[in-house]
């Protein structure tokens, strides 16, 4: 099954000493469930920077057992984040200033699937750098049939 969807991605980040940061993007995308049951959401993220419009290709892969979510984010601030409840995954965060190495510690991962093939994934996680938690975050990815 492959279909066009609206993709709503919300990230909430809490860093010590800073106000909560909430980022929400809505874009068109494709949601596909492969023959083995793996779910793949591909979508573009549009950002405005210095008067220029930048378009990034992003991809979220949902494991067949619905226990792992992997997000590949493109662009100048690219990263591959893997979420598996109760586990740590090392990742590389590429920035215009160089690479940062960190760990993603998934506290919870929940999937909800609708009758029309919609899906909602919510991951609550912490980012660790040098064994210190630098951010507590929640990411929600939700598809809606167009």
CATH number at residue 108: 2.40.128.20
Instruction: Give the number of domains in the chain.
Output: 1
Query: Taking 80 as the threshold, does the pLDDT of residue 1 lie above it?
Result: no
pLDDT of residue 103: 96
Query: Taking 90 as the threshold, does the pLDDT of residue 32 lie above it?
Result: yes
How many Cβ atoms are within 10 Å of 126's Cβ, its own excluded? 17
Contact (Cβ atoms closer than 8 angstroms) between residue 143 and residue 6: yes
Query: Taking 80 as the threshold, does the pLDDT of residue 49 lie above it?
Result: no
Instruction: Residue 29: give the domain boundaries.
Output: 2-145
CB within 8 A of 105, min separation 6: which ones?
87, 88, 125, 126, 127, 128, 133
* pTM to 2 decimal places: 0.89
Q: How far apart are CA 129 and CA 74, in angstroms?
A: 21
pLDDT, tens only, 69-118: 999 988 777 889 999 999 999 999 888 788 989 999 999 999 999 887 78
Contact (Cβ atoms closer than 8 angstroms) between residue 100 and residue 92: yes
pLDDT of residue 26: 92
pLDDT of residue 45: 83
Judged by phi (left if over 0) then psi (alpha if -120 to 50, else beta), residue 67 lies in: alpha
List the one residue out of 141, 143, 138, 71 whose CA is nearest residue 114: 143
């Amino acid at each position: 099954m492959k279909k066009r969807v609206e993709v709503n991605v919300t990230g909430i980040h809490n860093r010590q000493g800073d106000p909560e940061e909430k980022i929400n993007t809505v874009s068109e995308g494709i949601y596909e469930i492969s023959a083995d049951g793996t779910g793949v959401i591909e979508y573009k993220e549009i950002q405005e920077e210095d008067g220029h419009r930048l378009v990034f290709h992003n991809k979220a892969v949902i494991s067949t057992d619905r226990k792992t979510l992997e997000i590949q984010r493109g662009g100048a601030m690219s990263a591959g984040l893997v979420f598996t409840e109760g586990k740590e995954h090392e990742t590389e965060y590429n920035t215009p200033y160089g690479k940062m190495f960190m760990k993603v510690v998934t506290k919870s991962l929940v999937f909800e699937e609708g009758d029309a093939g919609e899906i909602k994934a919510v991951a609550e996680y912490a980012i660790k750098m040098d064994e210190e938690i630098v951010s507590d975050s929640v990411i929600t990815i939700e598809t809606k049939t167009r």
